[in-house]
Amino acid sequence: MTDVMLQTIGICKNFGALEASRDITLDLRVGEIHALIGPNGAGKSTLIKQIAGGLRPDAGRVLLGGADITALDTAARAQRGLARTFQISELAMEDTVLQNATLGALGAGGAPMRFWRAALDLQDLRETAIAALERVGLAAKSASRTAELSHGERRQLEVAVALTLNPKAFVMDEPMAGLGTAGSKTMTTFLDGLRAQAPILLVEHDMDAVFALADRISVLVYGRIIATGTVAEIRNDAAVRAAYLGEEA
Amino acid sequence: MIREPLLNAAILAGLVLFPLWAWSAGEPFLITLATKAVILGLAGVGLNIALGLGGLVSLGHAVFFGIGGYAMGILASHAQLFDPILTEPFTLNGTKSMPIIWVLAVVTSGLAALAIGMLSLRTSGIYFIMITLAFGQMFYYFAISWPAYGGEDGLSIYLRNSFPGMNTLDPIQFYAICATILFIVLLFNARLARSPFGLALGAARQSPLRVETVGLSPYRLRLVAFVISGMITGLAGALFADLNRFVSPTMFSWHLSGEIIVFILIGGTARLFGPVVGAIVFVTLEHMLGGVSDYWKIYLGVMLLLIVLFARGGLIGLLAGRERAHD
């Protein structure tokens, strides 16, 4: 199965008596957007942390491009090509937009122990950073302080930083959160084009976006995946309708 | 508002012109005061790399200041008694040469910073403050109880150590040496702040998760910053001991760690010249008010309180406004 980029096999995670992840097996194929949906408290964030780093599963494995990354920390996973965006923006707020993007390029380059030349004067870093900002449409704001950006622009910057890593796979935690209707549409169009570069595991509450973007959807309820399938299959799945969409089957 | 580079240039000019004026006016004591301010400022510049850029509030930087001081004291005291430090397995003699003393002061304080940093950087926030304070106290009591080098009484050096081609006992020449070191370190600091390392370290202070997510280790960045910071403060300690021709356990005391933080707060956290301005203010107040009252630090306390409440950017922030984003 060479076309699987990111994979979890039998992931389990318990917090005391709470089973946050129960035997989760999930794959992300090259070229696709795989949406992960589920009600609040279903264990989406716990699962994301086990995939992108920050939380070790009690059992099971995580594979990126066929290599086992279960034992690696967040930084090592990013070095291997896993790019993550956050539900609540994680950016250096005092720094400029360009500095944040340059930080991504610096991380991807893997040589932060340089003490003399200015980071923003290093041609390779600068080019990568500016190219990423141009792609998300933030190049005009590159000299602005990140704290001065609007909420939507911060979301764009999160994606731009992820792009600088030139990743093999994206893990995105609610990229539409807090965006208005127009912003949501712009982001949807952007992500639609992004899947050709690297597949996206997308956690999202905005159902319009999910149905518009997803090649496949997995539904997580009480730590268990109750269904995986295409948009049409999920819409018509009786268990999903009962558990998630709130309709009687 | 004055632009910060202009303000920095004015401070730099003051650091050159004031001692020259004192020299021509025949006021060697004022030169010695300026030397003290420059050396304490250097210690603050060291801490500012960890505290200002890295957000690491170390309440134990006196450790490095003291190690630098004792590196000088131990080497020079052996040299003045013609008593080798080691005879087995090889002979190791003391030295009165400043450059050699500096190298040893920087290396030993760097190693101490590496060891202390490796342990304490696993914690953060209040725990980091407490663990660095604890290391400071350990070194302080060790220095008091170690009889070989004077214990509580400290060590006196009869003659200031030597620097090739200079008469270090002449106040203006010793000042020139200290000020040159400060300027070189400030230049390094200015470059470092904008370098890839500085960018990553600053981001690790603001959002460690962001730094991890781009594939860098905040712990490693902080450890390197802590070591650089300790080395600079250690160098300042060696110069301070040479200024006084005396080293004692008070160089390890937590009061000193606190004072270095106070320099930074007065001048402006993460501002290039912040600790220098803070040290100048500190030494000036000590000189002018110290004669009036033994409790002159009350006035320092009031000033610190006002700055923390109303001028979070310190005096540099007050004069130059918010730091401009680098673009």
**In 3-state terms, what secondary structure has residue A114?**
coil
Residue A1 has pLDDT above 50, yes or no: no
Nearest to B214 among A93, A118, A165 (CB): A165
pLDDT tens digit string along B157-187? 999 999 999 999 999 999 999 999 999 999 9
Class of CATH domain A1-81+168-249: alpha beta
Contacts of A119 in chain B (CB under 8 A): 194-196, 198-199
Residues of B with CB under 8 A from a CB of A: 188, 191-192, 194-200, 202-203, 206-207, 209-217, 221, 224, 325-327
Neighbouring residues of A239: CB distance < 8 A, sequence distance ≥ 6: A226, A227, A249
Residue B283 has pLDDT above 90, yes or no: yes
**In 3-state terms, what secondary structure has residue A16?**
coil
Q: Give a three-class secondary structure readout of B102-166.
A: HHHHHHHHHHHHHHHHHHHCCCCCHHHHHHHHHHHHHHHHHHHHCHHHCHHHCEECCCCCEECCE
pLDDT tens digit string along A78-90? 999 999 999 889 9
Q: Do A110 and B215 touch (CB under 8 A)?
A: yes
Question: For residues A138 and B76, what is the distance between their CA atoms, to the nearest angstrom?
Answer: 60
What is the domain partition of chain A in residue ranges? Answer: 1-81+168-249, 93-166
Chain B nearest C-alpha distance from A213 (Å): 25
Q: Do B213 and A164 touch (CB under 8 A)?
A: no
Q: How confident is the model at residue A177 (pLDDT cuts 50, 70, 90)?
A: confident
Residue A158 has pLDDT above 70, yes or no: yes
Chain B nearest C-alpha distance from A88 (Å): 11
In total, the C-beta contacts within 8 angstroms joining chain A to chain B are: 125
Complex ipTM value: 0.93
Q: Do A112 and B192 touch (CB under 8 A)?
A: no
Contacts of B199 in chain A (CB under 8 A): 95, 99, 102-103, 106, 119
Residue B327 has pLDDT above 50, yes or no: no
Specify the pLDDT at position A244. 67
Question: For residues A154 and A138, what is the distance between their CA atoms, to the nearest angstrom?
Answer: 10
Closest CA to B139 of B85, B208, B77, B65: B65
Average pLDDT over residues A97-108: 96
- Rg over CA atoms, chain A: 18
pTM passes above 0.80: yes
Question: For residues A228 and B307, what is the distance between their CA atoms, to the nearest angstrom?
Answer: 59
